Amino acid sequence: MNIQEFIKRGDQVIMPTYSRFPIVFDYGDGCILTDIEGKEYIDCVGGIAVNCLGYNHTGLNHVIEEQIHKMLHVSNLYWNVPMITAAEKLVKLSGLDKAFFCNSGAEANEAAMKLARIYAKLYKSEDATEIIAMQDSFHGRTYAAITATGQPKYQKNLSPLMPDITHVKFNDFEALGKAVEKHNCAAILLEPIQGEGGIYPAEKEYLKKVRKLCDDQNIVLIFDEVQCGIGRTGKFFAYQHYGIKPDVVSFAKGIAGGVPMGGILACDRVAQVFTPGTHASTFGANPLATSAANYILDTVGNPEFLQEVSEKSQYFVQKLSKLKEVNPHIKDIRGKGLMIGVEIDENISDVINQCIQSGLLVCGAGHSTIRFVPPLIISKEEIDQTVQLFAKSL
Ligand SMILES: *Cc1c(COP(=O)(O)O)cnc(C)c1O
């Protein structure tokens, strides 16, 4: 059966919520993905920042294999060992106090918003319900998460959305201050580096002011690190570049290297309002996912590994900057670590399709930015090849 035949069958039975590229993948190894006809691609999408150790990673495979022979799942009515060790590691890496586990980024943000609203009701006032989020943000597809997402194109025909979520311009402290004066706020929610919106990092001064505003007004500060967390930027969490801490951080994507998992971490002051019955997840803290997470936390959380991510980032950005000098279509290079956005003045789908033709997977972010979020294990040779193929495609 060839690729076209599989796609035809897929079209008949899969809801077309994605405009998928006409590729059917079979397997991967390291940073290379192979389709069912044997064509190879260098993968700078990495499952959109999920496959942080690439494909077919020996150590991760081993841990997962061991766990499937023990138990795939056990209820949250009981404890399991990997959930406890994963939470301990996350607490240590984040500087926060308590974890809650679920299965995806959207669910993690749901948990964060529920936690913040409960906290505000109990420790601020009955009507402190407003959540202020950012324009051009992305927080996921469930109802609260899509309401918090500051991009109207994702909210079409879904009204009424969840009440009491407002959007302000990102990196604009004055706009945020005005919104906080106008509403009785439970929480401020933002991505330290906006991902889907186009790879826009928060400014340092801005985040410091936001932190202080939240302290002064008893507002829960939530960082969505679903994309920029888990070593992606060269620190385990992106906020660690800024010298501040949120009250709650959400994570998912890379946390279990490709096994579906999400979660939040919070400081004790806020976390204590989640008591038995306030929130739950059947699959959350599932031992298959949390044992994979343990391996990722040990590997990616290692300072030497994070240092390598920063070095590879420097190398990558240097190569892209050289390309920018000779290619007038490149307008800007943004990001941190191995979360890199290259803004171009050409149609991004044309460039993405050209890259695919030549054996390189990249994806878009925002209207005019090509996003590189490769496995964190990408080699310098693979970075060289990536930049070459990208240059040719431009
Ligand atoms: C991908 C993403 C989400 C949604 O995660 P899902 O696992 O698809 O629900 C939320 N926030 C950010 C910043 C993301 O990049």
Which pLDDT does position 177 carry in this prediction? 98
CA distances from 338 to 56, 262, 322 (A): 20, 20, 17
Tell me whether residue 224 is annotated as binding. Answer: yes
Looking at residue 376, what is its pLDDT?
98
Mutate to test the pocket of ligand 1, among 48, 103, 104, 226 (most ligand atoms within 8 A of CB): 226
> Omega of the bond prior to 22 within 30 degrees of 0, cis?
no
Return the residue whose CA atom lies nearest to atom 6 of ligand 1: 105
Phi/psi of residue 382, nearest 5 degrees = -70, -35
- Residues 367 and 260: their CA atoms lie apart, in Å, by 28
> CATH 3.40.640.10 region(s) of the chain?
60-300
- The correct CATH number of 60-300 out of 3.30.565.10, 3.40.30.10, 3.40.50.300, 3.40.640.10 is 3.40.640.10
CA distance 141 to 143: 6
Which CATH number does 6-54+304-393 carry?
3.90.1150.10
Q: Start-end ranges of CATH 3.90.1150.10 in the chain?
A: 6-54+304-393
| pLDDT given for residue 270 in this prediction | 98
**In Å, how far from its chain's centre is CA 212?**
25
pLDDT for the residue 317 = 98
| Phi and psi angles of residue 352, each rounded to the nearest 5 degrees, phi first | -60, -45
Cα dist from 47 to 31, 215, 379, whole Å: 11, 36, 18
pTM of full prediction above 0.95: yes
Cβ atoms of residues 303 and 310 within 8 Å = no
Q: Give the pLDDT of the chain (394 residues) as one tens digit per residue.
A: 799 999 999 999 999 999 999 999 999 999 999 999 999 999 999 999 999 999 999 999 999 999 999 999 999 999 999 999 999 999 999 999 999 999 999 999 999 999 999 999 999 999 999 999 999 999 999 999 999 999 999 999 999 999 999 999 999 999 999 999 999 999 999 999 999 999 999 999 999 999 999 999 999 999 999 999 999 999 999 999 999 999 999 999 999 999 999 999 999 999 999 999 999 999 999 999 999 999 999 999 999 999 999 999 999 999 999 999 999 999 999 999 999 999 999 999 999 999 999 999 999 999 999 999 999 999 999 999 999 999 999 9
218 CA from centroid of ligand 1 (Å): 26
Q: Ligand 1 atom closest to Cα of 107?
A: 9
Q: Cα–Cα distances in Å, from 19 out to 63, 73, 191, 349?
A: 34, 33, 26, 12
